[in-house]
Structure 1
Amino acid sequence: MQIRKKVIGLKWLKLALAASLVGFLASLLAISLKHVTEHYEEIFFRRTEKNSFLLLILPFIGLSVIYFLRLYLFKNKENKGIKEVFESTKPGKSLPAYKIPSHFINGLITVAFGGSTGIEVSTVVASAAVGSIAHSKESFLKKYKTELICAGVAAGVAALFASPIAGLLFAYEVISKKLSKSFLFVVAIAVGVAGLFLFFLDEKPLFAVGLEQWHYHAIPYFILLGIVAGLNSVYLTKCVLKIKSLFLKIQTPYYRVVLGAVIVGIGLFAFPQLFGDGYHTVKENIITSHTAIPAVSVLLTLAACILLKPVMTSVTLSSGGDGGVFAPSIFIGALLGLLFAFVSNRFFDAGVIPLNFMVIGMAAMLSASISAPFTALFLVCGLVGSYVLFWPILVVSLVSRYVAQKLCPYTVYTYVQKTV
């Protein structure tokens, strides 16, 4: 009996060490990709402010570089996003090591050169690949493949959004959808390591803001925002799937690159706010949300960005860019919340706080787009560094997901998983 206990204890120790290593590497990868991308995206975007013609050129350069890298360096295989992670959890499937540099480099180039998406999915797949590789290094770990993949994903998301709880919930709600003792053990260790990373590197929330208290009279407007966010998430999902199917009809891959670059370039030239992940636009609107005068031109610009972002994201992904709907959902949700608050205050004298609606809109849109309300709740609270809006965010996230599921029973992730 003593020997058996020692053997079991040794196995759990090995699993803990593997989870720690996966958490360390995934966190390092996520934080590195985040800061490198932010650095170059900032440089290129500032250049376009003085030379607007660059908005027409940068997407072509970025998408072309990705195309040739894929052709000559990454085995001529397209990155398929979250679908790759789903497939890797099945028996006999795995994520090869080249997926780490492939998603890291392609995600960086896509966003830095103006592709209208984000690095979140690139981070998720690359982090999952770390876990997939780890499971193959020792025979004992083979039966914990899914747990180690989820550990990588959870640590990557936790490090990227400064929220260990969001990392754990994302691994459960989106990837695993099953709870077990081994899952909780491995993923908790990995996000714990990610938390230590965040502490020692003193990572700040992406949208650190001083949120005000919310008021009960705003509840009906919160609910309406949740409904509108659910509708918009369906629009985003349909856009991605429809435009991808249209681009697949183009037989020559490089023609897709050229067409996509032209469309994205024109879109950016008309609305520079859509450049890259769009977080610079969100930050600017957060700063001015208290003082901005909701003139008609402002409302129309917000509405145009909300309507065009799904198209730009879809074209970016369809023409070979690396990314997903994470960042677009956050961007759309923030501007949707701001537009909703401005319209409510201007035309209905609602007296609501625009900044609060921006934050709640982020969570509502993300929850509906990936069908993960609790991930959205903790992720957005981590993004803004505040839990003041915890209960409104929870309610609105559930409302938006319910509306989206009623209108469209799948997300970009689950649709791809079943049909591609």
Structure 2
Amino acid sequence: MNKTTQLRKNHKAITSQKLIIASVLIGFSAVFLAVSLKKLTEHYEEILFHKANANWFLFLVFPLFGLSVIYFLREYLFKKKENKGIKEIFESTGSPTKRLPVYKIPSHFFNGLLTVIFGGSTGIEVSTVVASAAIGSVAQQKENVFKRHKTELVCAGIAAGITALFNSPIAGILFSFEVISRKISRFYAITITIAVAISYTFILLLDEKPLFEVVITTWHLKAFPYFILLGLLAGVNSVYLTRCVIYIKSKFIEIEKYSTKIIIGSLTIGVSLLLLPQLYGEGYHAVKELFFNAQNLTFSTSFAVTVLGILFLKPIITSVTLASGGDGGVFAPSMFLGAFLGLLVAVILNTFFNANVIPINFMVIGMAAMLSASIHAPFTSIFLICGLINDYTLFIPILVVCLISKTTAQFIYPYTVYTYKPKNIN
């Protein structure tokens, strides 16, 4: 063996050792960040939501306060830079020079928390993803040997964060591949596996419970045509969500004064919450209540008006939340919409067509279908939703419906909120 070959082997060995150490640190940091953000958000969102339910005027006050605090934090603490969500990750991994700076970690952490607990109709998932990606990016900047491994370390942070949020290591791995990286290398496999293993071990030690306590007993083959219908509807509805976000953001960009954006945004959010309190924050409180009552729900005019109002208003209020300065993305809104869409389809089928379908199954499948169509990541959606309920009974129908919803959405509109680029931007 000549000297050059030996040096190359030594270099690879050193790089591998340092990547392993970095992956351990990234995994631990990402899971700590994700769990902290999740716990804080759940705790304070519940408190403030109950306060607003008891005092209706708080539905108007909370969004104004939350968006204003986020604005002042950005102006005086976070270098006057707006958070762009997952597009920031694409910009970083797609360029050899761009980095996710360290201040993006607290920026997304606090802005995501403030957005949701004060009623902004989005979720902390994207805030967690970008903050976790920033952890990986910062680690990459610390060592010269990591120059070629920015994507690997960024994806390690993302995968660990998703694993912690949804109690699903497979969803973490698939999301980092399907949405961010789209390619696999030896170093990629090493960093992702280690970071996810650290994250999942931490979750097991904490004995984290599934977000939704749902009992899935069975599913029937005769329901497959109805599942396909749900997949088609989810694909169409996801395009409505995507187009709302893109359109409303483009209109808010034209508003020069930030104070005007905040006032318009908070008023829109506040009035929507007065009409439909289920839209408050992530909306998981409403989904949990639906799961509890789904089997006993029957079709009525008030039920239909409420659900249709939610399906119409949720994309608008989510878009306004993001356009007026809130931090977040379409993860939680997609799952929220999918649950209500699935329930509506099931209740209509049972009432008017005697289909005898299981409403809870349609809610779970609807959540996966909407998420798959919104982010164009069907396999991530399958394992993510199954991880949320800690049950894989519906794996096969979820797989089929997720592929149908994603294909439908892509056929109607080929972009997601992450991949769309305005025509005036190169």
Shorter-chain TM-score: which interval?
over 0.9
Q: Give the C-alpha shift of residue 416 in structure 1.
A: 4.0
Cα distance in structure 2, aligned partners of 1:390 and 1:61: 42
Q: Give the C-alpha shift of residue 7 in structure 1.
A: 4.5
1:240 and 1:311 in contact (8 A); partners too: yes
Q: Kindly report structure 1 stretches of 4+ aligned residues shifted beyond 6 Å.
A: none
Decide whether aligned partners of structure 1 residues 183 and 418 sit closer, same or farther in structure 2, where only a CA change above 3 A counts. farther
Cα distance in structure 2, aligned partners of 1:295 and 1:191: 46
Q: Which residue of 2 aligns with 1:111?
A: 116
Q: Which residue of 1 aligns with 2:225?
A: 220
Q: Which residue of 1 aligns with 2:416?
A: 411
SS in 2 for 1:52: coil
Identical columns (%): 59
Cα distance in structure 2, aligned partners of 1:253 and 1:49: 29
- Alignment deviations for residues 266-317 of structure 1 (CA, whole Å, 9 cap, x no partner): 0001100000000000000000011223222112211111111000000000
Q: Which residue of 2 aligns with 1:279?
A: 284
Decide whether aligned partners of structure 1 residues 21 and 419 sit closer, same or farther in structure 2, where only a CA change above 3 A counts. farther
- Alignment deviations for residues 98-142 of structure 1 (CA, whole Å, 9 cap, x no partner): 000000000000000000000011001100000000001111111
Cα distance in structure 1, aligned partners of 2:263 and 2:189: 45
Q: Give the C-alpha shift of residue 19 in structure 1.
A: 0.9
SS in 2 for 1:75: coil
Decide whether aligned partners of structure 1 residues 411 and 85 sit closer, same or farther in structure 2, where only a CA change above 3 A counts. same
Cα distance in structure 2, aligned partners of 1:412 and 1:64: 25
Q: Which residue of 1 aligns with 2:20?
A: 16
1:83 and 1:417 in contact (8 A); partners too: no
Matches of residues 141-290 of structure 1 in structure 2 within 5 Å?
141-290=146-295
Q: Give the C-alpha shift of residue 177 in structure 1.
A: 1.0
Decide whether aligned partners of structure 1 residues 162 and 417 sit closer, same or farther in structure 2, where only a CA change above 3 A counts. farther
Could you tell me which amino acid in structure 1 is paired with residue 12 of structure 2?
A: I
1:240 and 1:412 in contact (8 A); partners too: yes
Q: Give the C-alpha shift of residue 403 in structure 1.
A: 0.3
Q: Which residue of 2 aligns with 1:380?
A: 385
SS in 2 for 1:345: helix
Cα distance in structure 2, aligned partners of 1:418 and 1:177: 24
- Alignment deviations for residues 36-89 of structure 1 (CA, whole Å, 9 cap, x no partner): 011110000011121111111110000011111111111111000011011111
Could you tell me which amino acid in structure 1 is paired with residue 310 of structure 2?
A: C
Q: Is 2:79 the counterpart of 1:75?
A: yes
Could you tell me which amino acid in structure 1 is paired with residue 15 of structure 2?
A: K
Q: Which residue of 2 aligns with 1:28?
A: 32
Q: Give the C-alpha shift of residue 150 in structure 1.
A: 0.4
Structure-2-length-normalised TM-score: 0.97
1:231 and 1:404 in contact (8 A); partners too: yes
Cα distance in structure 2, aligned partners of 1:181 and 1:395: 31
Cα distance in structure 2, aligned partners of 1:67 and 1:136: 28
2:297 and 2:347 in contact (8 A); partners too: no
| Deviates most, 327-336 or 205-214 | 205-214
Q: Give the C-alpha shift of residue 11 in structure 1.
A: 2.3
- Alignment deviations for residues 141-165 of structure 1 (CA, whole Å, 9 cap, x no partner): 1111110000001100110111010
| Deviates most, 355-364 or 407-416 | 407-416
Matches of residues 342-381 of structure 1 in structure 2 within 5 Å?
342-381=347-386
Could you tell me which amino acid in structure 2 is paired with residue 246 of structure 1?
A: K
1:26 and 1:155 in contact (8 A); partners too: yes
1:167 and 1:375 in contact (8 A); partners too: yes
- Alignment deviations for residues 197-222 of structure 1 (CA, whole Å, 9 cap, x no partner): 11101111101211121001100000
1:229 and 1:368 in contact (8 A); partners too: yes
Cα distance in structure 2, aligned partners of 1:112 and 1:416: 30
Which residue, 45, 50, 61 being the options, matches 1:46?
50
SS in 2 for 1:95: coil
Could you tell me which amino acid in structure 1 is paired with residue 20 of structure 2?
A: A
Decide whether aligned partners of structure 1 residues 419 and 397 sit closer, same or farther in structure 2, where only a CA change above 3 A counts. farther
Cα distance in structure 2, aligned partners of 1:46 and 1:418: 43
| Deviates most, 121-130 or 287-296 | 287-296
1:97 and 1:129 in contact (8 A); partners too: yes
| Deviates most, 1-10 or 159-168 | 1-10
Could you tell me which amino acid in structure 1 is paired with residue 199 of structure 2?
A: A
Q: Is 2:105 the counterpart of 1:100?
A: yes
Q: Which residue of 2 aligns with 1:295?
A: 300
Could you tell me which amino acid in structure 1 is paired with residue 267 of structure 2?
A: V
SS in 1 for 2:420: helix
Cα distance in structure 2, aligned partners of 1:159 and 1:3: 40
Q: Is 2:94 the counterpart of 1:87?
A: no
Q: Where do 5+ consecutive residues of structure 1 fail to align?
A: none
Cα distance in structure 2, aligned partners of 1:114 and 1:385: 28
Number of residues paired by the alignment?
420
Cα distance in structure 2, aligned partners of 1:193 and 1:174: 22
1:83 and 1:416 in contact (8 A); partners too: no
Q: Which residue of 2 aligns with 1:137?
A: 142
